Structure 1
Amino acid sequence: MRLLILGTGGMARNHAEGFAELPDVEIVAGVDTRADQLAAFCGEYGIPQAFGSLDEALLWGQFDAATNVTPDAAHYPTTMPLLAAGKHVLCEKPLATDAAQAREMAEAAARAGVVNMVNLSYRNVPALQQAARMVGAGEIGTVRHFEASYLQSWLTQPAWGDWRSESQWLWRLSTAHGSKGVLGDVGIHILDFATFIAAQNAREVSCRLATFDKASGGRIGDYTLDANDSVTMQLLLENGGLGTVAATRFASGHLNDLRLRIYGDTGGLEVSFERQQSRLRACLAPDLQSAEWHEIDCPPVVPIYRRFVDAIRGEGAVDPDFARGAALQRLLDRAEESACQGGLSLAV
């Protein structure tokens, strides 16, 4: 399979290295409007063709699939031409920046009949996949309640860099620079984490957002620091189950941690991904009376890059697909609308 990499920023390195490990994939081209960065990227990974625009690459056309690693706002305008050209597409999350565009992308992919997948990176967490299998097999019965959180602390310590002076962090705090805050940045991950394991879509959402004072006058240089820093949500699932979802950049002591506690009428699961390690614990019959919890072994997960190629070869499922990405974007949009209305519960 001949692959084109669209966008050569930091995340593109993960894609280049992931696909380079697959013997049946040849990375044949890179695309970026920044000539120097494009040349350096293609040189580092031995990519033979370099294009300064997607139009040039499509005119050339000698590729079967593309992985879209452009900034969020560019996903829609760059993915739609790829679909129109009949190319298979793996797109970084979020699929788009609003539900209407995400839905249009999903519909276009379906019409084109191509493999379309969105990179929800925490689907690669073994504990998540094993928990989803156990819920799907009925091991905890009917899901009734859950608590999910995505905890980061980069606004309280500089583990990844100093957000006060480094643009790669500052833009995430400014709506004028394209940020939708913690809700838009990591909200999609924790919502997918919870609802994928629960095997339930959300029926209603209630959301509150908070933006905290972080600098004098609420700005640093050209950056107005108005994007949300913390979010709390309540979700009503399709089956009537209820849960809470929280995400923040002020969770001191947590670099990048996801947690889920999910309870059914015959058992419970605790899923965690902390310090790049996943863990799954379960309390199942006959241990409910004694409330004994046990560690569950979790088999390794096939990486998204391999799954994308296998799907193109007709040897694997197209999951998560654009339709899933669009559904999550609608949930995010409705959460944002709820917050604007003081946390009013809205149908999804």
Structure 2
Amino acid sequence: MSDPIRVLIVGTGGMAHAHASAYQAMEGVELVGGVDRNPENLHEFNAQYGITHGFDSVIEAIQWGEFDAVSNVTPDAVHFPTTMPLLAAGKHVLCEKPLAVTYADAAQMAAAAQAAGVVNMVNLTYRNIPAIMEAQRLVASGAIGEVRHFEASYLQSWLTQPAWGKWDEEEQWLWRLSSKHGSLGVLGDVGVHILDFTTFVAGADSAAVSCRLRTFDKAPGGQIGAYVLDANDSATMQVQLTNGAIGVVHASRYASGHMNDLRLRVFGTEGGLDVRWEDNQSVLRACLGDQIGTAAWEYLEVPPVQTNYVRFIEAIRAGQSVLPDFARGATLQRALDAAVLSNGDGCRDIVLG
């Protein structure tokens, strides 16, 4: 049996547990170290997963060096400064989304990863959903003809109910509402997912974007403790793709009745697909061929897919690249940057050159 892949976890907050649990379930993978500036969080995380080495910084971990791959689960604004030295050290990196908070940083990360020749991947978790992978395959096969129109949404309601925790008291939610703490709001948090969801299935990247962002009053003076609540809560976008298709994309944290739901409907010259992730269930419907004449939709069976974590480790073992990579993350960040620019300039259309 080959030597185990030794994994370092950078950032030990809520999402880090999903990464650690996934790696622990794999044969031939060892969690060997954790990195966090909060010593209490680091100690508790390492103890929970039997990790024996803890570090205050990425630089300290690199000086130790006894790891092969990294899951970067730090806040958005920290992805760039923590990932770049890891790439320079020749480490394989799976980075949480969004890859960075600006296209310039994301493009630099993608270039550095390519130059380093390491496996690099963005953890766009909805690539783990069977329905989206099957929908992408069907569109690529020509099943719906040429894509013409789409509509997509990512709906959450954690600002209207406490099922996931109290957003106005807990740090894991408050930082997501504050640009000072590295948040691009709902646009950066889940907008990146729905843009990937849409363009991946449609088989084309964004060519032009117009966007409106809205931040709602949530506390007296717009602040809770150290957190200025200025990050956007809802986003609406009109998007044109490089294949000529147009559509609408929207996301909100105020969608009461939806804990964490994604929808995509994509229509072509020869049919349509309806992709959904709702109530933790993956569903794919199609209207194809003769069904178009009667507007009949049928549910399709979808094969299971490997998770990003498994594909990341397998790519390392095989010495091959894997998608979605940092280049994909940079492409998505370019569209997010355009959305922010559009919102600040009267919601005008921003063409991505």
User: TM-score with structure 2 length normalisation?
Assistant: 0.96
Tell me the amino acid that sits aligned with residue 291 of structure 1.
A
1:250–1:22: structure 2 CA closer, same or farther, 3 Å change rule? same
Moved runs in structure 1, 4+ residues, more than 4 A? none
Match of 1:134 in 2: 138
For the pair 1:16 / 2:17, whether they are aligned, the reply is no
Match of 1:230 in 2: 234
Q: What SS does the corresponding residue of 1:146 show, helix, strand or coil?
A: strand
**1:53-75 deviations in whole A, cap 9, x for unaligned?**
22221111111111111111111
Residue number among 174, 178, 192 corresponding to 1:174 in the alignment: 178
Percent of matched pairs sharing the same residue: 61
CA distance in 2, matches of 1:201, 1:275: 28
Task: Please point out which of 112, 119, 122 is paired with 1:118.
Answer: 122
User: Any unmatched runs of 5+ in structure 2?
Assistant: none
Q: How many residues align?
A: 348
The residue that corresponds to 1:58 in the other structure is 62
Matches of 2:130 and 2:75 in 1, distance apart?
27
Q: Equivalent of 2:210, from 182, 187, 206?
A: 206
> Which residue among 257, 280, 286 is the counterpart of 1:282?
286
Q: In 2 relative to 1, CA 80–29 (structure 1 residues): closer, same or farther, beyond 3 Å? A: same
Classify the secondary structure of the residue corresponding to 2:137. helix
Aligned-partner residue type, residue 57 of structure 1 = A
How far residue 218 of structure 1 moved from its aligned partner, in angstroms, is 2.8
Structure 1 residue 315: Cα displacement: 7.0
For the Cα contact (< 8 Å) 1:307–1:316, is it kept in 2?
A: no
Counterpart contact for 1:99–1:333, Cα < 8 Å:
yes
1:220 corresponds in structure 2 to: 224
Larger CA deviation: 169-178 vs 251-260: 169-178
Instruction: Supply the AA of the counterpart residue of 2:16.
Output: A
Equivalent pair of 1:307/1:317 in contact (CA under 8 Å): no
The one-letter code of the counterpart of 2:351 is: A
Distance 2:180 2:292 in 1: 51
User: 2 CA distance for matches of 1:65 and 1:177?
Assistant: 27
| 8 Å Cα contact 2:274-2:285 kept in structure 1 | yes
- Pick the aligned partner of 2:71 from 56, 59, 67: 67
SS of 1:236's partner is strand
How far does the alpha carbon of each residue in 1:196-244 deviate from its partner, in whole angstroms, 9 at most, with x for none? 0001001100101112222333333433322211111011111111010
Instruction: Report deviation, 1:316.
Output: 6.1
- Of residues 70, 76, 92, the one that matches 2:80 is 76
Q: In 1, distance between residues paired with 2:188 and 2:167?
A: 18
Q: What whole-Å deviation, never above 9, does each CA across 1:106-161 have from its counterpart, x for those lacking one?
A: 00000001100010011111110010000010000000000000011112222212
* Alignment-derived partner of residue 299 in structure 1: 303
8 Å CA contact 2:119, 2:320 repeated in 1? no
SS of alignment partner, residue 289 of structure 1: helix
Matched with 2:350 is: 346
Alpha-carbon shift at residue 176 of structure 1 (Å): 2.5
- TM-score, structure 1 normalization: 0.97
Which of 284-293 and 25-34 deviates more? 25-34
Q: Please say if 1:330 is aligned against 2:334.
A: yes
TM-aligned CA distance change 1:310 to 1:176, over 3 Å? same
Amino acid at match of 1:182: V
Matching residue of 1:46: 50
Name the CA distance, whole Å, in 2 between partners of 1:279 and 1:75.
32
Note the C-alpha offset of 1:250.
1.2
1:2 and 1:25 in contact (8 A); partners too: yes
**How far 1:39 moved relative to its partner?**
1.8
CA distance in 1, matches of 2:148, 2:323: 25
> Shift of residue 297 of structure 1?
0.6
What is the aligned counterpart of 2:107 among 103, 106, 112?
A: 103
What root-mean-square deviation, in Å, do the aligned CA atoms of Structure 1 and Structure 2 show? 1.3
Measure, in 2, the Cα distance between the counterparts of 1:220 and 1:43: 31
State which drifts further: 313-322 or 255-264: 313-322
